Amino acid sequence: MPAIVSALIVWLLMRGLSWQRLLDSILSASPMGLALYGAIGLIALWLRAIRFRLLLPEPKPAAGPVFLATIIQNALGDLVPARLASLGSFVWFMKHHVAVAVESAASTFIVSFVLDLVTLGPLLLVAVAVRLGSAAPPGMTLLAPKWIAIFGVIFFAVSAATAWWLGPLTKVFARLPRALAHGREDSIWERAAAFLDRIAATMEIIRRSGALVRLLAVSLAIRLAKYAALFALTESLLARAVYAAPHPDPWDLIIGVSATELVASLPIPAIGQFGVWEGGMVGALVMMGFPREPATLVAFGVHGITTAFEYLLAVLALGGLLVLSRKRN
């Protein structure tokens, strides 16, 4: 069934377009752009590993194994919706190869995901404001650049304040499953409450240690590196293509990728979210006024190249993690 869904969506997206032109655009991608994408992508992965280590309790594991586990879980992000494959693989590798407790690994992953959302909100709203301003009729501006910047800073401050109170809020939410458990220690509700308590405890440790500012700074750097890498990849794909329409700029990509990830998180049965991811990206770019053909070229090229690159890194990281585990044993 997943193969049929993916094939059907891909067929609908490519209907009336040239497969040869799509293949030529990928094969003729600018080598410098691809190299820049790969370099920035590795920096983003290293920053993610740094954030995981900041969140993990003492004693901290070595940076190398955490980096390798980060690469592996990143490659599995689109395997199933809601990043469940990323969560499961990260917890398993951290437990069996880095000697980190399951609860600590799971709470670390979830808090990292929350920090990603905290940094996404301001950038997405600023991107929308910039996009609306560029779409305004000549001689009219909906928002001046300085007000867009001020708006982004204010929203980021509000998001940071929300992260500051995440621990106490999570502890409050844990009361509901604990009440449903009715004192049964082995029930699923009691385990859920205990898990929420661990997340709350992790956030409280972060808040008391003063690490929240560093975590927010690293999370913002991760977000910026992600969009910079995708922009380099997009420009690499379109560098030798001749289109009258303008290429997507970084703000367009922020909106397009955010919409795409939202669509890809839906429980749609597809192989590795192929077809679903491309459909979300094509839909977002077309709604912003880009022609269908370059939008489709960007969607298939970006998803195909990023998937191949991430899985290649994951295979290498898996081999490195196994070697390190043998040496440690």
**pLDDT tens column, 70-129:** 998 888 876 666 567 777 788 888 888 788 877 778 878 888 888 888 888 778 877 877
- Is the Cα torsion angle 278, 280, 283, 284 positive or negative in sign? negative
Minimum mean pLDDT among 23-27, 28-32, 255-259, 324-328: which range?
A: 324-328
Q: Which residue has the tokens 């708006």?
A: 151
* Mean pLDDT, rounded, of the chain: 79
pTM: 0.83
| Burial (0-12, 13-18, 19+ Cβ within 10 Å), 323 | exposed
H helix runs in the chain, sequence order: 2-14, 19-27, 31-55, 63-75, 84-97, 102-134, 145-164, 166-173, 175-181, 188-209, 212-238, 250-264, 276-287, 292-328
Structure-block tokens of residue 112: 């990292």
Minimum mean pLDDT among 5-14, 150-159, 217-226: which range?
A: 150-159
pLDDT score of 237 more than 80: yes
- Say whether 52 sits in a helix, a strand or coil: helix
Give the model's pLDDT for residue 142.
Answer: 56
Report CA 151 to chain centroid distance, whole Å.
23
Q: With CA atoms as reference, report the closest residue to 227 among 55, 43, 27.
A: 43
How many angstroms separate the most distant Cα atoms in the chain?
69
Q: With CA atoms as reference, report the closest residue to 195 among 170, 166, 215, 169.
A: 170
pLDDT score of 139 more than 70: no
| Domain residue extents for the chain | 2-328
Q: In whole angstroms, give the CA distance from residue 36 to residue 305.
A: 13
Give the model's pLDDT for residue 39.
Answer: 95
Higher pLDDT, 17 or 32: 32
Distance of CA 45 to CAs 40, 56, 192, 226, 307, Å? 9, 17, 30, 9, 14
Mean per-residue pLDDT, 20-33: 82
Q: In whole angstroms, give the CA distance from residue 230 to residue 37.
A: 7
Cβ–Cβ < 8 Å for 238, 297: yes
